[in-house]
Amino acid sequence: MHQRTQVGIVGCGPAGLFLAHLLHRAGIEAIILENRTREAVEGTIRAGVLEHWVTELMREMGLGDRMAREGHFHSGITLQYGRSRFHLDMEELTGGKRVTVYAQHEVLRDLIAARLADGGIIHFDISDAAFHDIETTQPRITFRHADGREDALICDYVVGADGFHGPGRQAIPAADRREYSKTYPFGWLGILAHAPTSWHELIYARHEEGFALLSTRSTEIQRMYIQCDPQDDIANWPDERIWATLHRRLETIGDWRLSEGAIFQKGIIPLRSFVCETMRHGRLFIAGDAAHIVPPTGAKGLNLAVADVLVLSRALEAAIRRNDTDGLDAYPATALRRVWKAERFSWMMTTMLHRDDAETPFEHRIRMADLDYLAGSRNAQAALAENYVGLPFEG
């Protein structure tokens, strides 16, 4: 048994779904394969900060109605150090650009519903996906349905938008992959809590004992993070300890007080940076987390995935419609220019705001000087704001 499509995509995350929609808009057929159920995809709660151009793209594609109703549009962020806070007015610094806080799983819900409404095919709950013949003109993806039936997609091109652990990158011969990585010595303990809004925008706080982040999911639900040991056991963090830590790290001059509430989700994630510069092999292309990981401090993960597939969709359209493969040849270099800038920004935000006990006292003072310079320099603020809302798009 087999199916035929122009572009076969493994992965129903931001990269795979945006790519399928962009190709559909260009009249190109794509089928998505996903190893999780639809309920699991839509129910995996993840934060989301959308760059200005991503929200504009969603509106242009007719995918932004619920985002416009339920998203939180922020004109700036608050940075805190030494118990003092300062506001970065990104909208003013960037000529009117804002960011939108709209959770990634909500974006996926919108994109899945729209893809299915358009008649698109998404095979959920598949297993054993594998890429074959990627150096030929008819690459294929074999997989197994939930009921055990074996199947295959025969394609013109195939895309691994299947995350860090998916088969996409692994299908590129190891000898041909150029990979770069950094593992940070700290992680984030994240919580969701039923609590009223404490602050009107995100607060990024550097404290002598570690980083903290305050974010709003809705007027009743707050998302917060604290720096911790990535190997720590979540059982060592009862709710009382979490709230006490958040109060200490977010304490500021004045009478502001953090609002508490019932914590209904918590977990620890490691922080790392990763880039695979080999984003193409034959007719296989990789995008999103399959090709790069950024620490969440810079809020770039979803945005980079969309940037990848915007470049890739245009290149696939040129190749399929006009037999022009120049864009496909240029795809890795074009995407990687943006990737490395986002990696640099995410690394900068992470090192500036976190306490690393492996650093010397001299380096700790440099981090404080970075924040002090940022607080007093409009040029430094403009550079951070430009990166945060999204650099001018290339490609």
Say if residue 21 is in the same domain as residue 102: yes
Q: Is residue 90 part of a domain?
A: no
Task: For residue 248, tell me if it sits in a domain.
Answer: yes
Residue 83 belongs to a domain: no
Quick one: 196 and 173 in the same domain? no
Phi/psi at 272 (5° precision): -155, 160
Check if the beta carbon of residue 211 is closer than 8 Å to that of residue 205.
yes
Instruction: Please give the chain's pLDDT, 395 residues, in tens.
Output: 789 999 999 999 999 999 999 999 999 999 999 999 999 999 887 778 999 999 999 999 999 999 999 998 999 999 999 999 999 999 999 999 999 999 899 999 999 999 999 999 999 999 999 999 999 999 999 999 999 999 999 999 999 999 999 999 999 999 999 999 999 999 999 999 999 999 999 999 999 999 999 998 888 889 999 999 999 999 999 999 999 999 999 999 988 999 999 999 999 999 999 999 999 999 999 999 999 999 999 999 999 999 999 999 999 999 999 999 999 999 999 999 999 999 999 999 999 999 999 999 999 999 999 999 999 999 999 999 999 999 987 64
Q: Give the predicted TM-score (pTM) of the model.
A: 0.95
Annotated catalytic, 74? yes
In this structure, what token pair is assigned to residue 240?
A: 């009382």
Domain that holds residue 233: 184-270+356-389
Same domain as 151, residue 220: no
Kindly list the distances between the CA atom of residue 80 and the CA atoms of 10, 240, 354, in Å, as whole numbers in the listed order: 41, 23, 12
In-domain check, residue 81: no
**184, 204, 225, 331: which is the annotated catalytic residue?**
204
Do 221 and 303 belong together in one domain?
no
Q: Is 279 exposed, middle or buried (0-12, 13-18, 19+ CB in 10 A)?
A: buried
Which residue among the candidates 300, 331, 332, 354 is catalytic per the annotation?
A: 300
Annotated catalytic residue, options 21, 24, 72, 74? 74
Dihedral sign from CA coordinates of 341, 343, 346, 350: negative
The 10s digit of each residue's pLDDT in 54-75 is 999 999 999 999 999 999 899 9
Active site residue 388: yes
* CA triple 170-174-180, angle to 5 deg: 90
Q: Are residues 346 and 294 in the same domain?
A: yes
CATH value at residue 240: 3.30.9.10
User: Within this chain, do residues 107 and 123 fall inside the same structural domain, yes or no?
Assistant: yes
**Residue 86 in domain:** no
Q: Are residues 57 and 195 in the same domain?
A: no
Same domain, 198 and 142: no
**234 and 200 inside one domain:** yes
* CATH number of the CATH domain containing 152: 3.50.50.60
What is the number of structural domains in the chain? 2
Q: Is 300 a catalytic residue?
A: yes
Q: Name the active-site residue from 139, 167, 295, 296.
A: 296
Residues 219 and 309 grouped into a single domain: no
